[in-house]
Structure 1
């Protein structure tokens, strides 16, 4: 009988959908993490490209992989991750990480992130990533600017595929997702929701400037990298068609219940209000809205132009 591992136990949750070309590289990079005892749970959203058979083969041959039953179509990465977060038992694990199907993790990702959690005494960490395209183009995606008082109401801590969380934080996320009075499961971006739950409930978060994975870019990315003119056009459209405002409003409803900070409560009430006067009141919160100074300026300008 083998001795129990003394290494930190990490549970990785992976949401997949038609990721056949990329899954082998990603799964291998997760299982080959150094300095940790890692297990992988996968929820496949009824793929039709051969991914389901591939994952069944992996789960059948590797004891560290569990494939959840494919019971229904979830329809989005966020909903698929919410399924994982709600259904998977996290007892016995010290940390929980999220994984996309199409990245490649650096071999020391989890080990270094655990060290950061201990060093900075935080509840979760995320990181910058190096995005790369099939033509060989590469770019650093920098999300490691200093946190703002309200940034979690307006953005995530970075790509969810970089997240490593303590078991205690994931337990909070589970509780919020199960609360029928909150619109948590309707928040489109699961990483944004998790970041907001952590920060608004008094948790601490660290964003590492060192990349932890290769962030593959292709035609099927759900969000992708916010680089280039076309990407900015897409973000502009999300703001002007009120998608962004609707998501911020959902987060404000959740945060208002979780936070006991008067300043945060006031910001949430203002975000949930309506009318021109109320929008003008929002201007006082813009300096604390996003970590990137240029993005704060753009959001403030769009608010003043009544485009938000």
Structure 2
């Protein structure tokens, strides 16, 4: 878990962890310099257990993504599975049980990533709706152009975290969760998508990253695409993958090369390379936006 001035909703998140049906867990928190009561809430939560299951560290104070990377880098944190956790959500009581069961069915040593849909709630806790359900198979071809699940739903097995550690946690990428999806699937690992909502994802003004289900939010996302944000994110991701080329499968390297050519090619050649790359987004409107962005040289 990463925290920063999260006292308003932190207790609800912590109590949803206490209520997990899978009780064999520990909590590692990196706090990025909170000035509110977050640390006091964490200390009280830790004191409510008669073991040392809650550990708090000082974060690097370089943003939320770098804070998560700082936790991944801590070799002393060893487990069978690792869950990314935000400070203002609420977990379904069966979240960890579902994730560990799904990841436990993978071949030993195979990097695995589990992600789900979300139930969306207001700051008050009232339900808004559900995040969009995806039906296309997860994989590297999807990961190159879309992070299909938010990090707060993600759980990784040990092989996946070990892979991220070997790739280097000082990597410059768009976001830690998208990087997990890219690296794990690019390495030949497995992404398991569960349409069941394992978290109550709080939507409020302080969100660094929210669900894009409203027309206004979708328009804002399309605007970012054509303003160049999507192109910038892709540039970071492609450069990071190039540095980890030895960790990618031959098929992944081919997809990466074709996608990168689609980003740089002449107008008439761009769609050809995009088709050869095999990349796809999860929805028809997302795929249409990708095609338009390709012609506009915004990928």
The verdict on a shared fold, with TM-score over 0.5 as the criterion, is yes
Question: What is the TM-score normalised by the length of structure 1?
Answer: 0.85
1:43 aligned onto 2:34: no
1:73 aligned onto 2:64: no
- TM superposition shift of 1:187: 1.4
CA distance in 2, matches of 1:299, 1:204: 24
Any gaps of 5 or more consecutive residues in structure 2? none
Query: Which residue matches 1:170?
Result: 161
Regions of 4+ moved over 6 Å: none
Counterparts in 2 of 1:122-161, with a 5 A limit?
Answer: 123-134=112-123, 136-147=126-137, 150-161=141-152
Structure 1, 220-229 or 47-56: larger mean CA deviation: 47-56
Q: Give the direction of change, closer, same or farther, for the CA distance of 1:274–1:235 in structure 2 (3 Å limit).
A: same
Q: Give the direction of change, closer, same or farther, for the CA distance of 1:303–1:115 in structure 2 (3 Å limit).
A: same
Query: Which residue matches 2:206?
Result: 220
User: Matched residue of 1:102: which SS?
Assistant: coil
Q: Give the direction of change, closer, same or farther, for the CA distance of 1:171–1:119 in structure 2 (3 Å limit).
A: closer
Query: Which residue matches 1:291?
Result: 282
Contact 1:131-1:214 at 8 Å conserved across structures: yes
Query: Which residue matches 1:10?
Result: none
Query: Which residue matches 1:101?
Result: 87
User: Matched residue of 2:84: which SS?
Assistant: strand
How many residue pairs are counted as aligned between the two chains? 287
Contact 2:226-2:298 at 8 Å conserved across structures: yes
Q: How big is each residue's C-alpha offset from its partner over 1:240-268, in whole Å with a ceiling of 9 and x where there is no partner?
A: 22221121122223334132215324324
Cα RMSD for the two superposed structures: 2.3
Query: Which residue matches 1:191?
Result: 177
Query: Which residue matches 1:211?
Result: 197
- TM superposition shift of 1:159: 1.0
Q: Give the direction of change, closer, same or farther, for the CA distance of 1:167–1:228 in structure 2 (3 Å limit).
A: same
Counterparts in 2 of 1:19-98, with a 5 A limit?
Answer: 19-62=6-49, 63-70=52-59, 72-74=60-62, 76-91=63-78, 93-98=79-84
CA distance in 2, matches of 1:226, 1:80: 24
Contact 2:258-2:274 at 8 Å conserved across structures: no
- TM superposition shift of 1:272: 5.5
- TM superposition shift of 1:69: 2.9
User: Matched residue of 1:38: which SS?
Assistant: coil
